[in-house]
Chain A
Amino acid sequence: MDEKLNVKDIDLRNLDDTLFEKDDSAYADADKLNRPSVTYWSDAWRRFRGNKVAMVSAVILVLVIFMAVFQPMASPYTYDEQDLFAINQGPSSEHWFGTDELGRDIFVRCWEGARVSLLIAFVVAVLNGTIGILYGGIAGYFGGLADNVMMRFCELIASIPQMLWVVLLILIMRPGIFPIIIAIAATGWIGTARLFRGQVFSLKESEFVMASRTMGAGSIWIILKHLLPNAMSPIIISMANVIPGAIFSEAFLSYIGLGVPLPTASWGILASDGANKLLSYPYQLFFPSLLICITMLCFNLMGDGLRDALDPRMRQ
């Protein structure tokens, strides 16, 4: 339609199709996404990043882990090196946190202790998560008799305070880092299993699982591909609580004399040694407990932040 049309030339009775042009401009990019699509995880990450307290906690935790890994390597002292000419010295420029009754540097012992305590805590968390998810997933997914038997077993274990199981198991295995991990994890997964089973129970009736099954997916595929990612957020939140719990358990065991064997340092050993000398050398309790408290505080605050980020309904 290059040449100009004269209105008079148009026969209004017989309008020709060539006179009209289809205007698609309004629909042209209806399918185009103007902004990047926000997945659940990037949304959660955005919320978590906005939470100053949780971010600061996370940074402090990274620092603590960094120090635990590298400080014992860089320090001029080792955790078991004794110096009987420098026993029970207060904090100084040489020994930042002072020395203990055998002249060992408490600063390096604190970070060596962080290694042991954090190692125990993280391995326990991973074991708890794995066993709990497998057990709870199987029980929840298959339901019926399997579920009944499996959950009865959990009830049986949970009917006794967890600490008693831990003490019994450590007595059998003899104290050590590995036995402590096994003993704490051996009964600790019950909570995760119950949590995951509950999630699976409600999720397995949902439409997307039915759709997947209709398309021929197997049970393992459905559990791993559909149920697990959807139940992930409560599990992550509970993991953030398992870690401080394991640090506490280790401290408790050290206090009752079932901790890691000497001369290994752990936060529990340091704090319980310090607690015995509180009256004469208070700094020996102060520094290890300060580290424990800061770490616990950060884990708890970060856990709260994770909960708010992953499950916005829970935000208060």
Chain B
Amino acid sequence: MGKYVAKRFVSMVITLFLVATVTFFLMHAVPGQPFEISRETPESVKEALYAKYGLDRPLSEQYVIYMKNLLHGDFGVSMKYKSQTVLGKVTSGMPVSAVIGFGGVLAGCLIGACFGILAALKNKGITDYLVIILAILGVSIPNFVFGSLIQRYFAVEWKLFPIQGWKGAEYVILPVMAAAFTNVAYYARMLRTSMLDVMGQDYIYTAKSKGLNQNEIVGKHILRNSFLPLVTSLGPMCAGALTGNFVIEKIFNVPGIGQSMISSIQNSDYTMIMGLTIIFAFISVICYFLVDIIYGIVDPRIRIAG
């Protein structure tokens, strides 16, 4: 086990390093100058600005400085707003994004799993068709359309929840609902397929023929076995949970990291984009690392193979 963890850890560190390098050079390939202001700027001011951000040095030197800073946990500062650092944005936005992201995955997984189970047990019935329709709608509607719709109906027309913002528990519900929507569809479909698959297996016939009743078969044999693909998919899901809700955060004006990313893209705040991209990448790489470790604990075969 120790060897497996060490191996995964080394590979994670290499990935982090490569990702940071690639991001750095991609961002420096973005055309245009960082301080393009529409009005006339004196040369001396420009030079001072360049010197301040270290942009007057050769690229290789900037790269070394940037990497050193990363090692010290300094992901850079905003180019547009003084006193805003990437790390500050992330530490303030992360908890909010985590609530929406994990809330969306959790709610989507639970509701979707229930729908999937119902559909599989009532295979070819009305419930089944309703769930199939829901599952296909879930992957056919862009999330900003769905988000805007629930915002209009639940907040504006029926006034059940606040329209936007982040000031208390009731502000959480709509964004989580929007984030859960696709997940509900995904998990309903997945669980339905895997349940039907398990229900056709020989050991289910065995269980039936030895006289177990329906509830026991479902509870003891079918459910346990059909949850396996769900467990394996949770890893990538969680890696995406923190970084996958840009649009929803923007619609509901939630101060998460996705919202910061969108506004820095719209403001062409390049240092911020670079810092946030690297943080996003780090989050997902670390998530995959943790997931690999958990799989290693759960399933010994992976340890030996990997």
- Contacting pair A279 B152 (CB below 8 A): yes
If A161-B244, A297-B136 touch, does A289 touch B18 (CB 8 Å cutoff)? no
Prevailing SS type, chain A contact patch: helix
Query: Which of the 9-residue segments B25-33, B86-94, B225-233 touches chain A?
Result: B25-33
Query: Which of the 9-residue segments A30-38, A89-97, A221-229, A253-261 touches chain B?
Result: A253-261
- Contacting pair A156 B266 (CB below 8 A): no
Contacts of A282 in B (CB 8 A): 152
Q: Cα distance A151–B190 when bound, in Å? A: 27
Q: Cα distance A167–B278 when bound, in Å? A: 13
* Chain A nearest CB, measured from B122 CB (Å): 14
- Contacting pair B156 A172 (CB below 8 A): no
- Contacting pair A159 B243 (CB below 8 A): no
Q: B277 an interface residue at 8 Å Cβ cutoff?
A: yes
Contacts of B44 in A (CB 8 A): none
Q: A285 an interface residue at 8 Å Cβ cutoff?
A: yes
Q: B34 an interface residue at 8 Å Cβ cutoff?
A: no
Chain B, range 149-164, C-beta contacts under 8 Å to A? 149, 151-152, 156
Q: B141 an interface residue at 8 Å Cβ cutoff?
A: yes
Q: B288 an interface residue at 8 Å Cβ cutoff?
A: yes
Q: Cα distance A169–B265 when bound, in Å? A: 12
- Contacting pair B240 A272 (CB below 8 A): no
Query: Which of the 9-residue segments B61-69, B70-78, B103-111, B279-287 touches chain A?
Result: B279-287
- Contacting pair B152 A161 (CB below 8 A): no
**Residue among B140, B152, B266 having the largest count of chain A Cβ atoms under 10 Å:** B140
- Contacting pair B15 A156 (CB below 8 A): yes
- Contacting pair B139 A244 (CB below 8 A): yes
Q: B145 an interface residue at 8 Å Cβ cutoff?
A: yes
Contacts of A174 in B (CB 8 A): 31
Q: A171 an interface residue at 8 Å Cβ cutoff?
A: yes
Interface readout for B187-210 with A: 1 if CB under 8 Å, 0 if not?
000001100110000000000000
Prevailing SS type, chain B contact patch: helix
Closest residue on chain A to residue B157 by CB atoms:
A279
- Contacting pair A301 B26 (CB below 8 A): no
Closest residue on chain B to residue A304 by CB atoms:
B136
For chain A, which range describes its interface: under 10, 10 to 19, 20 to 34, or 35 or more residues?
A: 35 or more
Contacts of B30 in A (CB 8 A): 171-172
- Contacting pair A161 B193 (CB below 8 A): no
- Contacting pair A275 B243 (CB below 8 A): no
- Contacting pair B140 A293 (CB below 8 A): yes
- Contacting pair A300 B139 (CB below 8 A): yes
Q: B223 an interface residue at 8 Å Cβ cutoff?
A: no
Contacts of B18 in A (CB 8 A): 156
Q: Cα distance A205–B30 when bound, in Å? A: 46
Q: A122 an interface residue at 8 Å Cβ cutoff?
A: no
Contacts of B144 in A (CB 8 A): 251-252, 255, 271-272, 275
29 pairs of residues in contact across A and B, judged by CB atoms under 8 Å: A156-B15, A156-B18, A159-B19, A159-B285, A159-B288, A160-B19, A160-B281, A160-B284, A161-B243, A168-B26, A171-B27, A244-B139, A248-B142, A251-B142, A252-B142, A256-B246, A256-B250, A257-B265, A275-B148, A278-B148, A278-B149, A282-B152, A289-B141, A292-B142, A296-B139, A300-B136, A316-B192, A316-B193, A316-B196
Q: Which residues of A contact B (CB under 8 A)?
A: 155-156, 159-161, 163-164, 167-169, 171-172, 174, 244, 248, 251-252, 255-258, 271-272, 275, 278-279, 282, 285, 289, 292-293, 296-297, 300-301, 316
Extra A-B contacts (17), CB below 8 Å, given A164-B281, A297-B137: A156-B18, A159-B288, A160-B285, A171-B30, A172-B26, A252-B142, A255-B250, A271-B142, A275-B251, A278-B148, A282-B152, A285-B145, A292-B145, A293-B145, A300-B136, A300-B139, A316-B196
Q: Which residues of B contact A (CB under 8 A)?
A: 15, 18-19, 23, 26-27, 29-31, 136-137, 139-142, 144-145, 148-149, 151-152, 156, 192-193, 196-197, 239-240, 243-244, 246-247, 250-251, 262, 265-266, 270, 273, 277, 280-281, 284-285, 288
